[in-house]
Structure 1
Amino acid sequence: MSKIYAIRNDGFGYQSLDLTLLDIARYAPEDIDPDAVMDFSRTNSRLAEWWQTPDTRFVCNEGVNDKGIPDISAWIGASLVLSPKAHRYLSDTLKSYGELLPVTVGNDTFFIFNCTQLGEEDLSMSEYETQGEIPIQLLNLAFRNSAQTLPVFKSRYESCLTVFCNERFMHAVEDFNLTGVVFDENLVPQY
């Protein structure tokens, strides 16, 4: 049986994409619901139809040793930022599971991968801590076997905050020596 992993940033040493949802929202047509932009991952909104390639940069995180620009990094919601190298190696796999949205950084084109594929959760093994009927904190998250066939996906149960992947995708990232992310067997982040 194949494992499922949460794709997380490899600490704070790598630089971060200096692009916010407000930067993106200014390009959205007036007839687009603002929630479809500001909460694009949770609402599973597609952005490619109106996307305009923004110019941006990477910035260092204060107080840490700068490791440079990563090949892959987790971005807002269930999305990833891909360097030109990561895009070259992974785009054929990723394009069927979301959108690849270009951003210009200096003379290079990076891509935001907006994951639109949902994995099917195993609700008998997934659990929230609740207060009354209000979910407070995710305690456990598990997926049905069907999720193991997906290279990347996200979870509505987890509010679409993380890109998850199967072992094959993890091995591809490792085999191509792509930097910036780690693969966490604990699907619920530990704070």
Structure 2
Amino acid sequence: MPAIYAIRDDGFRFKNLDLSILDIARHAPDDSDPDSILDFSLHNTAMAAWWPPMGAHFLSNEGFEGSPIPDISSGLGATLVLSPKAKRYLGDLLESYGELLPVEAEGEVYYLFNCRTFGQEDLEVSQHEYLGDTPISLKALAFTDDAEKLATFKSKFENCATVFCNEQFKRAVEKFELTGISFDENLVEQFG
């Protein structure tokens, strides 16, 4: 099995970027297909060509007022939010796998990393749970050895809700002591 991780937020102790899909859709070109914007991760929509200077701010989770802004956090769909420090250390590595879209927040320029690379799922292991003929949840997820070569990627089988990474990306985050995310070997997010 390749060394693959799901990138997760490191608990609730960090602030989150308050940027919604409607904030993005408001700036999309008039001739855009609404589905390609509202579900941009699944449609693998490129946005850099029309991305405007966008402003946002960070919010604390309830009960964690005054919490710090992370270096990296999960964003909408298969995106990551990078601080200026994280962009400086990881930008060159990430730009081959997606787009770095600037967002002004807290007086600095942060970046929304729009992952545009798909990993190849191992379909002998990956499974959905079904209700009749309709898939209702992800039961198991695994990737082929080829995915281990990708620093970051997303999964169609998982509806592009998570950014996954390899050992190289994990080591870079740890080397530069970037805060805000954890690396989960369980690729299916557990709730409850």
The verdict on a shared fold, with TM-score over 0.5 as the criterion, is yes
Counterpart position of 2:138: 138
CA distance in 2, matches of 1:63, 1:51: 34
Counterpart position of 2:119: 119
Q: 150-159 vs 62-71, which deviates more?
A: 62-71
CA distance in 1, matches of 2:99, 2:5: 21
Counterpart position of 1:40: 40
SS at match of 1:58: strand
C-alpha displacement of 1:106: 3.1
CA distance in 1, matches of 2:21, 2:180: 21
Percent of residue pairs identical = 55
1:13–1:66 CA contact under 8 A, matched in 2: no
Q: 128-137 vs 116-125, which deviates more?
A: 128-137
C-alpha displacement of 1:2: 4.3
SS at match of 2:41: coil
TM-score (norm 2): 0.97
1:53–1:101 CA contact under 8 A, matched in 2: no
CA distance in 1, matches of 2:152, 2:30: 31
Q: 24-33 vs 57-66, which deviates more?
A: 57-66
C-alpha displacement of 1:66: 4.1
RMSD of aligned alpha carbons? 1.0
1:53–1:102 CA contact under 8 A, matched in 2: yes
Unaligned runs of 5+ in 2: none
Q: Deviations over 1:135-180 (max 9, x none)?
A: 0110100000000000000000000000000011101001100000
C-alpha displacement of 1:105: 1.0
Aligned pair count?
A: 191
1:2–1:167 CA contact under 8 A, matched in 2: no
TM-score (norm 1): 0.97
C-alpha displacement of 1:107: 2.3
SS at match of 2:148: helix
Which runs of structure 2 are paired with 1:18-57 in the superposition (5 Å)?
A: 18-57=18-57
CA distance in 2, matches of 1:42, 1:175: 31
CA distance in 2, matches of 1:147, 1:175: 22
SS at match of 2:129: strand
